[in-house]
Amino acid sequence: WGGPLGAPPRARVSSPGSCQGNSVERKIYIPLNKTAPCVRLLNATHQIGCQSSISGDTGVIHVVEKEEDLSWVLADGPHPPYMILLDGNLFTRSVLLQLKGTSRVSGLAVTMAKPSPAQGFSPGLKCPNDGFGVYSKDYGPQFAHCNTTVWNPWGSGISYEDFDFPIFLLEDANETQVIKQCYLDHNVPQDGSGPQYPLCAMQLFSHMHAVTSTVTCMRRSSLQSTFSINPEIVCDPLLDYNVWSTLQPINSSGKVDPGKEVIVVATRIDSHSFFWNIAPGAESAVSSFVTHLAVAEALHKAPDIQLLPRNVMFTFFQGETFDYIGSSRMVYDMEQDKFPVRLDNIHSFVELNQVALRNDSVLWMHTDPVSRMNESVEVQVRNLLDVLSRSGAGSNVTLQEAGFSQPLPPSSFQRFLRARHIPGVVLTDHRTSFHNRYYQSMYDTPENIRMEYPEGLSPEETLEYVTDTAKALAQVATVVARALYGLAGGANSTSAIQADPKTVTRMLYGFLIKMNNSWFQSIIKPDLKGILGDVPQHYVAVSSPVNTTYLVQFVLANLTGTVVNLSKEECLNPEKTPHTDTELYEYSWVQGSLDPNSTSRIPLCVRSGVRLSKALSPAFELRHWGSREYSTWTESRWKDIRARIFLVASRELEILTLVLGIAILVLSLLTTYVINAKAHVLFSPPRDPGAVTY
């Protein structure tokens, strides 16, 4: 397609929102600035995702709002290839596979369905993280590959397909309207026949550098790094950091005493969708880690926590969506004695999974039926279930067992069970299949977990407004916190252990609606204020730590830490300051809240036990890029991701323009040659009149 260069002056698309300028490019193209691409990911055996050709893919725009509209693209339309503007309700596996098998389609631009598709939409797998949990042919084969329970029945698996054309999400309704108007003005078929030129076209750029698999791309990157001065890396491992802290401080550089028992509380903090960095994860991640943070705050307020015989470790895993990156790394570090807590220290394991969509306030307790065949494990699991059930008594939360024959849902706990038979429970809002119809999708938004606000509230009022969702999650947090107190050996009344709905509602607003709010601004370091974007996303990515990790770290420090009277210099250099213990605590100089009498902030020093640990798959530490034991997910690199629309002239006009251009060029060369050859005649100086001879 050379169309835009040959488009006549009248063939320009303009809109009120388009850039105005004098350059030729700005007069021809309208850039689409609010888009999200589908990018290429790779594992040990496959590549998934999408990409364009190296120079971008171009096609005539055709709007598809119902399935019958596809016939024009796939068979009838006279101007292929087509760039489809696809209604979000048609973004399904059956439609995509039709488009995947034809050369008449050069790419897709997908609009968001509003409201979210009533039938559900999950581009993930029906059996998430299959093959990397505990169940296999050697351990509970009857439960392997979701034989007993299909956890995600809405899973279409399209996130794990490989498409050889670009697919972009249009995030801005105004840009979508500009495209539709361009289509209506130029591309609508006339009485069943093709529209007349010029036509409205779209160009998508998303060429990916990595191909085939992680084994291939990591080997190429490794060779480049070894032999090239300026290596061109083609892919990067998905990585970040886990966030963890303990109820009673422990020496982060030492080892917990072998006789000290630790209860691990865990949850994931990442999500995913079909499109890059679009991962709201309201039910799949945020509801659980917000509840977990509320549990940590409630438990730290108990007066006798330092006297409890058992410690509690609060753990937030990153990269769990991609075959348990964070949890498998922590287990690996524990096995290699690279973590303060050993596997042998773990007394029991409590995991918060999806908990926001409960029916009749029921919270389901899932356990592993295979390990419970061991008598000692069964006794400990039975005690764990009893303590949890008693903690729910008198509350609005009813805890029920999922059933002895029911396997564990996809959970971080499975990675710990692979290493050791640990008594544990996974808490969810579902007994069998997920209640979440939008698992790992762009529609797993605040609306999915029924977050509702009155109209007319200011951002500050919205931040503080306690929603019904926040109240419900606070009740879950209260039950879990009381149970943990009992499991840790607490003997006093638990009535004072209470999660704060106001804290929960602030966290839900910050992690789901607007990160850049007054509370988050007050609890982070001054040099990190740039991480506070508007729309929160929870994709693990390849640059670390990501925004979510930082914010979970600082929220946890704010909820469980202590403000100490240190100056900025002392707080930033605690190892040089007397009466500080850097082995037990981290010190953070944070922005603080606004001074009510001015626009400046009142900074302060926060001491907490919150730490970060690597969430990089052991496969990359061991250079086992083809591993079937550990996650091997990588993300391809790219140079240019952008989208734009323009008007394209007919092929005949382009050829005519080209021929005329060549003719003019040849004529110019001939003219130049002739003038140059006759220069002595054409440009000879005139004779001097005084030199005439008679």
Contact indicator for 569, 500 with CB cutoff of 8 Å: no
Helix ranges (DSSP H) in 336-409: 375-391
Give me the mean pLDDT over the 493-501 stretch: 94
Give me the mean pLDDT over the 140-145 stretch: 96
- Higher model confidence: residue 691 or residue 118? 118
User: How many CB atoms within 10 Å of residue 55?
Assistant: 11
Percent of the chain residues past pLDDT 70, beyond the cut = 96
Give me the mean pLDDT over the 322-335 stretch: 98
- Higher model confidence: residue 525 or residue 687? 525
Give me the mean pLDDT over the 500-522 stretch: 97
One-letter amino acid at 123 equals P
Quote the tokens at residue 401: 């067992």
Report pLDDT digits (tens) over 183-228.
999 999 887 788 888 999 999 999 999 999 999 999 999 998 888 8
pLDDT recorded at residue 6: 33
pLDDT recorded at residue 7: 35
pLDDT recorded at residue 229: 83
Report pLDDT digits (tens) over 149-183.
999 999 999 999 999 999 999 999 999 999 999 99
- Higher model confidence: residue 396 or residue 19? 396
User: Rounded distance, CA 31 to CA 512, Å?
Assistant: 28
User: How many CB atoms within 10 Å of residue 7?
Assistant: 23
Percent of the chain residues past pLDDT 90, beyond the cut = 83
pLDDT band at 690, cuts 50/70/90?
low
- The phi, psi pair for 169, rounded to 5°, reads -100, 130
pLDDT recorded at residue 157: 97
Is residue 692's pLDDT more than 60?
no
Is residue 18's pLDDT more than 70?
no
- Higher model confidence: residue 676 or residue 350? 350
Residue with tokens 């995913």: 272
pLDDT recorded at residue 12: 36
Closest listed residue to residue 380, CA positions, set 433, 446, 320, 425: 425
pLDDT recorded at residue 89: 96
Q: Crossing angle for the helix pair 287-300 and 468-487, nearest 10 degrees?
A: 50
Residues pairing with 298 in the sheet: none
Is residue 387's pLDDT more than 50?
yes
Report pLDDT digits (tens) over 228-266.
888 889 999 999 999 999 999 999 888 999 999 999 999
pLDDT recorded at residue 405: 87
User: How many CB atoms within 10 Å of residue 666?
Assistant: 10
pLDDT band at 691, cuts 50/70/90?
low
pLDDT band at 19, cuts 50/70/90?
very low
User: Rounded distance, CA 364 to CA 352, Å?
Assistant: 11
pLDDT recorded at residue 694: 45
pLDDT band at 610, cuts 50/70/90?
very high
**Contacts of 478 by beta carbon, 8 Å cutoff, 6+ apart:** 298, 395, 397, 497, 498, 499
Where do the domains of the chain lie?
25-234+641-652, 239-561+609-616, 562-603
Residues pairing with 567 in the sheet: none
Burial grade of 595 (CB within 10 A; 0-12, 13-18, 19 or more): exposed
Give me the mean pLDDT over the 24-35 stretch: 91
pLDDT band at 686, cuts 50/70/90?
low
Q: Any idea which architecture 239-561+609-616 has in CATH?
A: 3-Layer(aba) Sandwich (3.40)
Report pLDDT digits (tens) over 617-657.
999 999 999 999 999 999 999 999 999 999 998 778 878 88
pLDDT band at 687, cuts 50/70/90?
low
Lateral strand order in the sheet of 604-608: 562-564, 604-608, 586-590
Report pLDDT digits (tens) over 84-131.
999 999 999 999 999 998 999 999 999 999 999 999 999 999 999 999
Quote the tokens at residue 171: 């995030």
